[in-house]
């Protein structure tokens, strides 16, 4: 995923005991399905995952609630959750790149949910409070 993700938007999927790579071949579809966002925001894999894969493809027009989705940082945990029957499938996304965060901020937009879901996170007090 990492190597393919350098040139295209790719996602991993674990479904029915098999692994798959999903590739967005035509970025023009993003303008058709993602409205009211900058080009920088539309290029985020996590935005494409939510707006295109989850809302348009997998939900078939039905709303997927937050209760239907779990976010985990470990791919093995995601696969185990599917294997236990609690979830239908697991989707994997490449990490957001630093320049993408910068570009979205420069466009005056907020990052979509879970776009900066990474560890370790800096302690809030170290970032906000003066010493």
- Residue pLDDT, tens place only, 113-130: 777 666 666 666 555 555
Rounded distance, CA 124 to CA 72, Å? 21
- Residue pLDDT, tens place only, 32-63: 888 889 999 999 999 998 888 887 777 666 66
Parallel/antiparallel/unpaired status of strands 89-93 and 9-15: antiparallel
DSSP string, 102-121: HHHHHTT-PPPTTTT--SSP
Tell me the pTM.
0.77
Per the prediction, the chain carries an average pLDDT of 84
Rounded distance, CA 105 to CA 87, Å? 34
- Residue whose pair of structure tokens reads 């979509």 in the numeric block: 112
């Amino acid at each position: 995923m990492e190597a393919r993700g350098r040139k295209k938007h790719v996602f991993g999927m674990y479904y029915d005991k098999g692994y798959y790579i999903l590739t967005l071949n035509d970025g023009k579809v993003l303008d058709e399905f993602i409205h009211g966002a900058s080009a920088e925001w539309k290029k985020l894999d996590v935005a494409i995952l939510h707006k295109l894969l989850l809302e348009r493809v997998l939900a078939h027009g039905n709303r997927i609630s937050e209760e239907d989705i779990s976010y985990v940082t470990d791919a093995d945990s995601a696969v185990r959750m599917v294997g236990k029957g609690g979830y239908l499938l697991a989707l994997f996304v490449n990490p957001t790149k630093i320049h993408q965060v910068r570009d979205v901020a420069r466009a005056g937009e907020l990052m979509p949910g879970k776009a900066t879901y990474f560890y370790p996170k800096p302690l809030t007090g170290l970032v906000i409070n003066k010493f």
